[in-house]
Amino acid sequence: MQYIAAPKPLDGGSVFEDIPKASDDKSVYLLHRAQTGYLVLNRYPYNAGHLLAVPYRPVSALGELTAEERAGLMDLLVLGQRALAEALHPDGFNVGFNFGAAAGAGIPKHLHAHIVPRWNGDSNFMPVIGDTRVLVDSLDAMWERLKPFCRET
């Protein structure tokens, strides 16, 4: 509710542009800052530990990213998956993008990749999309748990 009730950008900006401007990474659940993007916990997770890899520059399609931004985004996906594997020991992952509102993109003008840890026996993907979510940790606790693993090697 805190996120839902928070003021939204009036200039047509996106929350993804505001997150890296925060002075306190934990307050926005930002886990890692890289040169061209960042890793953040999803405030509306499909599963515990659901991360987003987000380029700093707002674009709506992969082809609009520079080669450096595309490589940086892939590096963030690798870092996020590795951090989740080390911290949470999931049995698998869903990793992907939603392009356009019709495909489920909540912020279509600023692409981002989802990294969702999965465990044998957790909810299948359809009930998760249908807002059936069982989360075992708060976002604050999950940030504390994941932060030490979000380092580049």
Give tens-digit pLDDT for 47-90.
889 999 999 999 999 999 999 999 999 999 999 999 999 999 99
The beta strands (E) that lie in the chain are given as 30-33, 37-41, 51-55, 92-97, 113-118
Q: In the chain, where are the structural domains located?
A: 2-149
Choosing from 32, 50, 110, 112, which is the catalytic residue?
Answer: 112
Amino acid identity of 128?
Answer: V
The number of beta carbons lying within 10 Å of the beta carbon of residue 139 is 18
pLDDT, tens only, 82-120: 999 999 999 999 999 999 888 888 888 999 999 999 999
Annotation marks residue 32 as catalytic: no
Which residue, 121, 124, 74, 71, is CA-closest to 95? Answer: 74
Candidate CATH numbers 1.10.150.20, 3.40.1390.20, 3.40.50.300, 3.30.428.10; the one for domain 2-149: 3.30.428.10
Q: According to the model, what pLDDT value does residue 13 have?
A: 63
pTM attached to this predicted model: 0.83
Dist. CA 16–CA 48, nearest whole Å: 20
